[in-house]
Structure 1
Amino acid sequence: MTKKSFAYLFLLPLAILLFAVLQYHRVATLLDRAEYEQEILVKAEKLVNHNFTGPTEIEYQREGADKAELIDAGNAQTDASIFLSQNKNALSVARPMLYLAYAGLGLSLLYLLTNSALIALGYLGAKKGRRSQHDLVQAFDFCRTWLPFMLAAQVLFLTLSISCLIFYELTGLMSTAKDGSDILAGGYFFLLGIGYIIFIIWRLVKMLSNSFSLFQPEPKPVMGRNLSRDDAPALWARVERLALRLETITPDNIVAGLTENFYVTANPVRLNTGEILTGQTLYFSLPWASLLNEAEIDAVLGHELGHFAGKDTEYSLRFAPLYARFSSSIDAVFGLRKNAPGYMNVDFNTAMSSCYYVLGQFHDTVMYWRQRREHGADEMGAKASTPLALSSSLLRIAALSNPVDEYLNEVYHARVTPDDVVAALLAHLQTLPLPDPRAFLENETAHPYDTHPSCRARIEALGCTTDEAAVIAARPVTGDSFAHLFLLVNDFQALCRTLSAELTGEITQYRDNYKQSLETVLNRAAKETVIYARPKIAIGGLLVFLYFLYATLSGLFNPDLTFPPNDKSYTLMGLLLACAVIAGLGLRRVIKVWKRGKQPVMVLRHGSVSFHMLGAPVPLAALTGYAFFKTRRGLRIGFTYKEGYEPPKRTDNRWLTYTHCSSTEPFFYVTAYGKLRDASGAPVSQEQLAELLDTYLSASVAEHEIKDFQ
């Protein structure tokens, strides 16, 4: 658990609880004292009014005294009356304040208990998930059922507990009001508080609905063609035969495509045609199928179908897609306002900390089972074909991944526009020397939802030798390598041409849009943008100047100041000189702040950016990123830069010339004091500044990339 999560989940509720305890102590002490004074008043009145002939003294413990003492009943009656009179207004609202204190105590305890339950939910769920994949799925199901409600309860208890603390103080403040305007102001605060609670409840409902969407899998965009049984009867028969042999689920859909490797998914799939496929989908990669022999294709298909076998079925169909969605969507769903002050998002930051903790607890368990799942799927792939065929397919895919990706990258950049991507790829690979497969034994195969162990570990687990598998994987690529695919898919060549044309069309449309966006960036970056930071007047410097100027002028008219000066006059003159110097320093500060507002804090140009506090412009090509940090006096902007670049020295401070925030990281910062404005005086928000920085930083990249369109 991170320090931030610990602060939100434990320190914050403890702080609220302790403050509620303090509030309870204050009002309970007042009520107890008032009850005691009322009893004293009743007893004293009986003694005084009934004119007892005996002694009229009564035991009375004064406020703050250690023990009671005997005093005259009349005096006790007077003291009690004075106390009740002085605290009349406070006592009139003491009972509501007591109830608010009780509510604050109870809600803060519920908030703390809810946080503890969330911690237990993540920890125990992940611990249970280590027993088996079935237990992992059950634990995650339980988690996804209760987590949204616990998050809602967490935010609700936090909001209400803080509201109780605030209303308690407002009630006490209103009890001290002396005129109608103060009471009216207090009423406004109450209305604002109620409005805030309504706003938080609205956010709560929205967050609750969004929390459920965390566990709804989104359709995965896929470029390909859904093959019906009429389109590829032999391929469907082959897959069904393998599924029957392996006792796995037969996929509901087979999608043939050009851009990805083999995989299976239970997530919904959205094709580039707009069609959405549900159920289990097998992605059949035409480029990779053309590079594998029939035994290797059977092994790869068996491996993928193995994810739908036995205990792995529940994991693949239910858990993996939902977990992938959950782990990638937390930030987007909660819509954190990263630029807002932290106190504005305490409720959501608390919920986010809870989600990240639960996710972190499940992560280690998920990685544990992913490794074991791959070895289990490999056993199924070996059963579908042979262990050697699966081993050689692993190494062949690993060895050819870079050449295949490089060629497809040429296609994506429209440097080549083949009518048939598969045939053109095979022709291209025939001109290249095949890399030694043994150099890729430590590679891990990519997968859209999972991770894989290294090739060496998988091959050794199959009982094969890496040398034997490497020899088979190193066979050359030939022009007829994909001849066997003509038997699997009807009119295979037409399918490849159709998919190639669709891919080319998508690339053309994407590149046209991308080129237009690059031109827009370059046009915007061609203009110089000047940003000013208009700070508020230096209040401290102005007060110092006025105070010590007044002291200096007053001292000049002091009768003790004589000419020629005597010893006393010398002392006074020294003090006046010191006051004049301090007044001058205050005036200097005021003038410095005024001049700073007249100078641009940042000038953005094509290729460089200048800062008021740095001695030279900074090349935009040297910067790799930026981040905003809010400070008490303004906005601090941190920049990361490329290795080897040395930022200019600071010129705004003769004693502090370095710009580095860290001696170990390539990071420097500049500070803008005051509100940001452009050359016309219009305010510039942090979001607008970020957009400007992104535009100018992208311009250097855009200038290079647009040459690719020439």
Structure 2
Amino acid sequence: MKTLKLIAVLILLPVALGLFGTWELQRSADRAAELAETQSALQKIRPQLEALAAKRGAVAVVDLDGESVGVMVALSRVAQAEGDLRTLGPLSEVMRGLAKGVIVLGALATLATLVGVLGLLGLGIAGSRARQSRDQLLRTFTRVSRVLPYVLVGHIIAMGAAVAAILAYEALGIWHAGRISAGEIKLMLAALVVVLVCLYSIWEMGKQLRVMLRMFEPTAMDVLGRAINVEQAPVLWAYVDDLAKQLGALAPEHIVLGMTEGFYVTSSDLQLIPSNTVLKGRTLHIPLIYLGVLDSAETSAVIGHELAHFAGADTEYSLRFLPIYDGIGRSLGVIAETMNASDLLQRTILRPAFMLGIYFMESFHHAVNHWSRSRELAADAAGARLAGNAAAASALVRISAVDPLLHERIGEHLGRATRPTADRLVPHDLATSVLHELAAQTFSLPAEELAAQLPHPSDTHPSNGERVAALQISAEEAVRRGTRAMDALHACAAMDYYFSDPQALRLGLTEDFLEHYVARDAEVVEELRTYASTAVDDVKLHEGARTRGIFSMVFFGMFLLLGIGLLAFTVARPDLVQDKKPLLMLCGLGLIGLMLILMVISLRMIKRADMPALLLTPEHLVFNNFKAPIAIRHIADFGITDGQGVVLTLYLEGDAPLPERVSSSYFAPNAKLLKRKRAVQLQLMQVRRDGKKLKAQALAELIGTYLNAGNARHLLQQRFEGGV
């Protein structure tokens, strides 16, 4: 379906515009020929009329287009026609130029599209070949990522200009000889207004030009941590350099120390938080706490694994391809945010670019996953050469076993930092505190956890079970070593070993880490409070179809009287209907029955017009025929369809109780319970609030506001345990 949409937007539409321009060019040629023929005829008839007027005077009568008129009137009409031709002639040339412009612009858009299509076909071919050749993947990906943005921008500009030229042609085509009516003038003005809108859209396109041209440029990755130099971590830098030499790998240009995120290397640009420092080049990220969790052999295996991505055939892939691939993914996220914050016109302009960007990334998805799995297994083998297969396997298991406990402890400390109380102290040294708390834990790893994948910012890893098996270590041995108990003092000493002033480093990282999440928490709370303050009053929605009900009641009543009359006439005058009596009686009874049913429906609209169909409160949605209101926190999503009436569907959370229905009158607005879909559905002819009709969009905004506000209040209540 996505491919079909791209074909429609990028190929069929510009081709259709080009064909339309060809048709306009033919019409302009026919118009020019007609004008030339008329001009020639006028040039012949004027001397004849002038000679006739000089010979016979004003009383002469001539036949002009089937009408007998005086020769002076005929000369006046010829003069007027010649004046119209002096206007229509240049206008025809302008229209001819516009038609040619449409053809050229349509051709340019089609040409740009064909280039894009060839690129997309190349992507498909490259994607299939990339499993055998990473060089092919890198070359094609880089080449197309450079060309596609310019192709797409040219396509959109050509399309917008072509549409403007078409509309301008049709607007000018309304101009004709003789008096132009007011309606024709209005139509021309309306078309020209649309032309201006198209030109404005192209100007708006210029505002988004920078975003679109840079859509395939890598975007820096935000990382919470500190870059440490050789003076701060002399042992760590020497240790990493030595591991790189043993592997024959390029050493990192930067080492970033984080608190919890995993070990990884990247060549993408990094923007460090909170310093806002931008790092370019090869970077190794090391989580401080894991330097105490892992033993020296396991640390060598993990860091060696990461450095292996800068060794051998993997170097080019890591240095050139992955930064572009990861950066494009982040850039598409930026474009999506820009689209959400833009108006309809700008969203329409950016949507083809976004669709093409998504298709571009998906074309390489399988190839990237294939090489990600292969390169991870190769990197595991490289790490095992440095520290042994057993250490590499136990490191995988230990990280998987410790990670959930580590994040649990970190979450507890973040809770204390964001909601400080007298009895909940915030640690000044988070890494040391967490290591002591982990030392009191018993590590375990269920057998199914060996199928889990380690989190990583850019790669798709094979399962842990597959990686342990590839290291030729039994799962039992890996689990036994990886879940061993941890000594807090030994772990803290191992963590501090690499740094010249470990205490200052730990305290600084703790301050950065906690301040970052406290600031983020404050932003979230402020946003929730803003939402919570938007819907604080009760709102009653009703159908309000009284006028429609009365009108239909009168209308159907007339047909009811017709049916009664037909039936009475058939009974009273059987002599006039003779053998048609059964048919007429059947028609009369059928009409009476049908009208009675329709009048009952009309009466239903009248009676329930002012009855509350839905009551919106700050915490609940109340329906007539449900025993209890539905809590807003139990609503997962909603949908509104507008066709034969308005249908509001509320989808309930998986753990929310289903509402109980109570018996209610046919003449009251009732909601349906769709048990299989876990949804509540309310169907009305229309929806009114305070007597004013709500369109579907306004109703959606109202429902969304109350749901957002209710959920925000619920989250705030949980956040502050009972108060905002």
TM over 0.5: yes
CA apart distance, 1:12: 4.3
**Deviation by residue 1:21-47 (Cα, 9 ceiling, x = unmatched):** 666676677778x599879989x99xx
**Aligned counterpart, 1:121:** 119
User: What does 1:229-268 correspond to in 2, within 5 Å?
Assistant: 229-268=230-269
Note if 1:617 corresponds to 2:662: no
- Output the amino acid matched with 2:710: Y
User: What does 1:29-178 correspond to in 2, within 5 Å?
Assistant: 34=34, 100-128=98-126, 130=130, 131-175=132-176
**Aligned counterpart, 1:426:** 435
1:287 to 257, 266, 289: 289
- Output the amino acid matched with 1:410: E
C-alpha contact 2:303 2:383 (8 A) present in aligned 1 = yes
Equivalent pairs counted in the alignment come to 669
**Aligned counterpart, 1:464:** 473
**Aligned counterpart, 2:361:** 359
Cα distance in 2 for partners of 1:583, 1:439 equals 67
- Output the amino acid matched with 1:391: A
C-alpha contact 2:256 2:284 (8 A) present in aligned 1 = yes
CA apart distance, 1:333: 1.6
Task: Tell me: CA distance 1:35–1:671, structure 2 relative to 1, closer, same or farther (3 Å).
Answer: same
**Aligned counterpart, 2:485:** 476
Q: Helix, strand or coil for the counterpart of 1:406?
A: helix
Note if 1:276 corresponds to 2:288: no
1:696 to 710, 716, 720: 710
Q: Helix, strand or coil for the counterpart of 1:481?
A: helix
Cα distance in 1 for partners of 2:546, 2:177 equals 35
C-alpha contact 2:632 2:711 (8 A) present in aligned 1 = yes
Cα distance in 2 for partners of 1:638, 1:201 equals 40
CA apart distance, 1:292: 0.7
**Deviation by residue 1:656-686 (Cα, 9 ceiling, x = unmatched):** 977478x864445546876876799999585
Note if 1:487 corresponds to 2:497: yes
**Deviation by residue 1:598-619 (Cα, 9 ceiling, x = unmatched):** 5666533243113579886322
Cα distance in 1 for partners of 2:363, 2:345 equals 27
C-alpha contact 1:159 1:347 (8 A) present in aligned 2 = no
**Deviation by residue 1:361-415 (Cα, 9 ceiling, x = unmatched):** 1222222222122123223322333233222111111122222122112122226
Cα distance in 1 for partners of 2:211, 2:175 equals 39
C-alpha contact 1:158 1:347 (8 A) present in aligned 2 = no
C-alpha contact 1:14 1:112 (8 A) present in aligned 2 = yes
**Aligned counterpart, 1:558:** none
Task: Tell me: CA distance 1:340–1:24, structure 2 relative to 1, closer, same or farther (3 Å).
Answer: farther
- Output the amino acid matched with 2:267: A
CA apart distance, 1:241: 1.4
CA apart distance, 1:488: 1.0
User: What does 1:640-679 correspond to in 2, within 5 Å?
Assistant: 640-642=652-654, 645-646=657-658, 659=672, 665-670=677-682
CA apart distance, 1:160: 3.0
Note if 1:320 corresponds to 2:322: yes
Task: Tell me: CA distance 1:262–1:328, structure 2 relative to 1, closer, same or farther (3 Å).
Answer: same
CA apart distance, 1:485: 3.0
Cα distance in 1 for partners of 2:575, 2:179 equals 54
5+ residue gaps, structure 1, are 50-74, 80-84, 556-560
Cα distance in 2 for partners of 1:669, 1:553 equals 37
Cα distance in 1 for partners of 2:97, 2:601 equals 55
**Bigger CA drift: 2-11 or 275-284?**
2-11
Cα distance in 2 for partners of 1:23, 1:653 equals 59
Cα distance in 1 for partners of 2:340, 2:361 equals 21
**Aligned counterpart, 1:388:** 390
C-alpha contact 1:258 1:499 (8 A) present in aligned 2 = yes
User: What does 1:573-588 correspond to in 2, within 5 Å?
Assistant: none
User: What does 1:273-672 correspond to in 2, within 5 Å?
Assistant: 273-279=274-280, 280-330=282-332, 332-333=334-335, 346-414=348-416, 417-436=426-445, 438-479=447-488, 480-511=490-521, 514-515=524-525, 527-530=536-539, 532=541, 592=605, 596=609, 602-610=614-622, 617-627=629-639, 639-642=651-654, 645-646=657-658, 659=672, 665-670=677-682
Q: How high is the TM-score relative to the length of structure 1? A: 0.77
Task: Tell me: CA distance 1:251–1:654, structure 2 relative to 1, closer, same or farther (3 Å).
Answer: farther
**Bigger CA drift: 434-443 or 330-339?**
330-339
Cα distance in 2 for partners of 1:567, 1:21 equals 70
Task: Tell me: CA distance 1:608–1:281, structure 2 relative to 1, closer, same or farther (3 Å).
Answer: same
Task: Tell me: CA distance 1:640–1:149, structure 2 relative to 1, closer, same or farther (3 Å).
Answer: farther
**Bigger CA drift: 12-21 or 122-131?**
12-21
C-alpha contact 2:624 2:671 (8 A) present in aligned 1 = no
CA apart distance, 1:276: 0.9
- Output the amino acid matched with 1:294: S
Cα distance in 2 for partners of 1:176, 1:565 equals 65
**Aligned counterpart, 2:52:** none
**Deviation by residue 1:452-488 (Cα, 9 ceiling, x = unmatched):** 1111222233343333333322321112134233321
Task: Tell me: CA distance 1:175–1:655, structure 2 relative to 1, closer, same or farther (3 Å).
Answer: farther
Cα distance in 2 for partners of 1:28, 1:656 equals 63
C-alpha contact 1:263 1:447 (8 A) present in aligned 2 = yes
Cα distance in 2 for partners of 1:632, 1:329 equals 42
C-alpha contact 2:541 2:613 (8 A) present in aligned 1 = yes
Cα distance in 2 for partners of 1:700, 1:330 equals 33
CA apart distance, 1:119: 3.4
Task: Tell me: CA distance 1:487–1:643, structure 2 relative to 1, closer, same or farther (3 Å).
Answer: closer
CA apart distance, 1:316: 2.6
Cα distance in 2 for partners of 1:667, 1:166 equals 47
- Output the amino acid matched with 2:122: L
5+ residue gaps, structure 2, are 50-62, 68-80, 417-423, 564-568
**Bigger CA drift: 274-283 or 99-108?**
99-108
Cα distance in 2 for partners of 1:471, 1:294 equals 17
C-alpha contact 1:263 1:304 (8 A) present in aligned 2 = yes
CA apart distance, 1:274: 2.0
CA apart distance, 1:653: 7.8
C-alpha contact 1:133 1:312 (8 A) present in aligned 2 = no
Task: Tell me: CA distance 1:337–1:615, structure 2 relative to 1, closer, same or farther (3 Å).
Answer: farther
Q: Helix, strand or coil for the counterpart of 1:231?
A: coil
Task: Tell me: CA distance 1:254–1:10, structure 2 relative to 1, closer, same or farther (3 Å).
Answer: same
Cα distance in 1 for partners of 2:603, 2:102 equals 46
Q: Percent identity?
A: 23
C-alpha contact 1:177 1:183 (8 A) present in aligned 2 = no
Q: Helix, strand or coil for the counterpart of 2:255?
A: strand
**Aligned counterpart, 1:196:** 197
- Output the amino acid matched with 1:333: I
Q: Helix, strand or coil for the counterpart of 1:138?
A: helix
Cα distance in 1 for partners of 2:476, 2:597 equals 84
**Bigger CA drift: 324-333 or 141-150?**
324-333
CA apart distance, 1:420: 2.9
